[in-house]
């Protein structure tokens, strides 16, 4: 089933008869599209739009094929190599399914062995720099926690969050405020993690909720919002909140 798509991409990338746009793309130029398509997949799932999800998964698959074709053109690897690598990885990481369960090493041991094979030694190695900041912070914290670098209870995590808030209030220069706000956000992510809450999803949900309520205020306000006082806007906000 994948061959027709691989053939389409080969033709698009043909240096003599291919598409003018596709033939000049590089890993770097299409990387932003890859990230965008992944978000559109997530959006279709969030909206429970199965037709949209089918379409967006196709767009995301195209990105994988596109990267693979560029790699093949440059003599690095092929799409088949990508498939083989991920199959080998999944089999290796699930020895209880594909091997002898009684003698299977633990997940962390498997991950440590993989890092050693690739020359990576830190527990934090492999967390992508391009991830959204909240998601990357969450992954970094989880990696640290796996090797014991974590508070066992929520109380010190809450205390750290309050401490960081106090440091924001005490900061004087824009540079200091910037740094302390980063620490505050990082601590908030940590508290979310201790509550078992996905910080990225929680913020996305809160932003969507705000947008819905704001749009309600915007559409029902008695006059232009710019001409209303903060107290009047708060009153309208509470009405929108009660209606949601």
Helices (H), 94-132: 95-98, 107-117
Residue 228 DSSP label: S
Q: Sort 190 into a burial class: Cβ within 10 Å, 0-12 / 13-18 / 19+.
A: buried
With contact defined as beta carbons under 8 Å apart, do 190 and 141 qualify? yes
With contact defined as beta carbons under 8 Å apart, do 240 and 220 qualify? yes
> What distances in angstroms separate CA 96 from CA 84, 101, 171, one per listed residue?
20, 4, 52
The whole-angstrom distance between residue 106's C-alpha and the CA centroid of its chain comes to: 26
Residue 150 DSSP label: S
Total residues belonging to the chain = 244
The predicted model scores a pTM of 0.63
**pLDDT (tens place) for every residue of the chain, 244 residues total:** 899 999 999 999 999 999 999 999 999 999 989 989 998 998 899 889 999 999 999 999 999 999 999 999 999 999 999 999 999 989 988 888 887 655 666 666 666 666 666 666 688 887 888 788 999 999 999 999 988 999 999 999 999 999 999 999 999 999 999 999 999 999 999 999 999 999 998 998 999 999 999 999 999 998 999 999 999 999 999 999 998 7
Distance, CA of 224 to CA of 236 (rounded, Å): 12
Query: How high is the pLDDT of residue 53?
Result: 97
With contact defined as beta carbons under 8 Å apart, do 188 and 161 qualify? yes
Distance, CA of 147 to CA of 109 (rounded, Å): 11
Question: What's the count of helices (H) and strands (E) in the chain, helices before strands?
Answer: 11, 0
> What distances in angstroms separate CA 177 from CA 4, 167, 181, one per listed residue?
54, 9, 6
């Amino acid at each position: 089933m994948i061959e027709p798509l691989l053939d389409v991409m080969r033709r698009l990338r043909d240096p003599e008869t291919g598409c003018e746009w596709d033939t000049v793309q590089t890993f770097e130029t299409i990387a932003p599209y890859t990230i965008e398509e992944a978000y559109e997949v997530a959006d279709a799932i969030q909206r429970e739009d199965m037709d949209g999800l089918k379409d967006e998964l196709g767009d995301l698959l195209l990105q994988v094929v596109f990267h693979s074709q560029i790699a093949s053109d440059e003599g690095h690897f092929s799409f088949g190599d990508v498939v083989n690598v991920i199959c080998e990885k999944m089999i290796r990481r699930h020895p209880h399914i594909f091997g002898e369960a009684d003698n299977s090493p633990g997940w962390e041991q498997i991950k440590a062995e993989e890092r050693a094979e690739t020359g990576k030694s830190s527990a934090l190695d492999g967390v992508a720099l391009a991830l959204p900041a909240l998601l990357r912070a969450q992954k970094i914290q989880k990696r640290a926690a796996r090797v014991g670098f974590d508070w066992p209870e929520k109380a010190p995590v809450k205390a750290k969050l309050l401490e960081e808030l106090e440091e924001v209030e005490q900061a004087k220069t824009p540079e200091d405020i910037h740094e302390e706000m980063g620490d505050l956000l990082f601590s908030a992510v940590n508290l979310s993690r201790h509550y078992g809450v996905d910080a990225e999803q929680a913020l996305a949900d809160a932003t969507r909720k705000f947008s819905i309520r704001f749009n309600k205020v915007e559409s029902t306000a008695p006059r232009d919002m710019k001409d209303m006082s903060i107290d009047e806007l708060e009153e309208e906000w509470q009405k929108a909140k009660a209606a949601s």
